[in-house]
Every structure is written in structure tokens, then in C-alpha cells.
Amino acid sequence: MTRHRLVLGLLCCGMLGVTASAAALELPVRKAGLWELKMIRSGGQLPEMTMQHCTDETTDKDMNNMASPMAQQVCSKQDIQKTATGYVSDSVCSFGGMSTTSHADITGDFNSAYTVKTTSKIQGGAAGTKDTAMTIEAKWLGACKADQKPGDIVMPGGMKMNVKDMAKLKNLIPGVKQ
């Protein structure tokens, strides 16, 4: 796996948990158990990706605590607001010579299903300026499988990792201090 794909994977995992932190508001903790997360990028640039994440209340809170210091270092703006239908998140983050401005609409109940629709404008880096859109459809499947522990993510192709180990990989993200 290239460094770029690993960094992208780490960032996506942070988004998948939908546990981003903001000074004014935190998103609810997801129901404990096995969640299926389907990522769909518009434009067909990348194939649809489906993964499973075993979680519990402690793991979701730990993901929030892990992501918050990183986000504070690389994001000049992190706003989450409650709306009539869910939440809206707006952020501006810079890392690796790139600046990303993102807007996300989050709907659902965090007990059975939620959806995150994100649009981003990425500036800098080799690609110049690029607009992206992604939808994450998450649904609760039930209890985690017998061979899973909270934090386990099963990626496409069967690769398994645990988000609790991701803290050790923070040094691979450009611009993030230890």
C-alpha cells in the first residue's frame, strides 16, 4: 500500500466513524456492534468500497479523542451544527501541501443507519484544484462477529486492521505533530 493510499485510508476511517469533534458540538456515539459502511465517490473515479467496523461506546469515544488533536493541528475550521434532519459539518484543513474545504450533511439515528454526504474542494499538491463528492451509507448489522473485537475494521479484500492501532500511524500523515 502506498503512503498516499494509507493516508487516504486513515482519513477515511476517521470520517467513517463520524466521530469528528468540534468545540461547540460532538456527534452522537454509534450503537455498539457491527456496522457496514459503504463509500460511494461521485464521478466513478474510484470504485464503491464497502467495509465493516466492529465498535462499542468506548471505541467511538476513543476515535473521537484520537481524531480531535490531529484535527486541531491541521484544521483551521471545524464546525458541527445540529439541524432539523441531523447535523451539518464544515471544515478547512491543510496537510501535505494541500488545503481541503469540506461540507458534510449527516442524517440518520446512529442506532440503525446514517448517511454522510460530503463535498470537498482540494487545492494544492500535484492535482492542482479538485472538487470531490462522497457518500457514506452506514447500517447496523447486529452484534460483532465472534472473531472481532471493538475497533476492528474489515476492508475490501479481507484486510483487517484495528482503529486503536491507528494512533501509532499518525506520523505518516504530513503536518501532524506527535
With CA atoms as reference, report the closest residue to 170 among 70, 24, 23.
70
Q: Digits of tens for pLDDT over the chain (178 positions)?
A: 333 333 334 344 444 333 343 334 678 899 999 999 999 988 666 788 999 999 999 988 877 766 666 677 788 888 899 999 999 999 999 887 889 999 999 999 999 999 999 999 989 877 678 888 999 999 999 999 999 999 999 999 899 999 877 766 655 555 555 4
- Contact between 159 and 57 under an 8 Å Cβ cutoff? The reply is no
With CA atoms as reference, report the closest residue to 120 among 139, 138, 98.
98
Spatial separation of the C-alpha atoms in residues 155 and 13, rounded to whole Å: 10
Global pTM? Answer: 0.77
pLDDT given at position 14: 42
Spatial separation of the C-alpha atoms in residues 53 and 65, rounded to whole Å: 18
**For 165, left (φ over 0), alpha (ψ -120 to 50), or beta?**
alpha
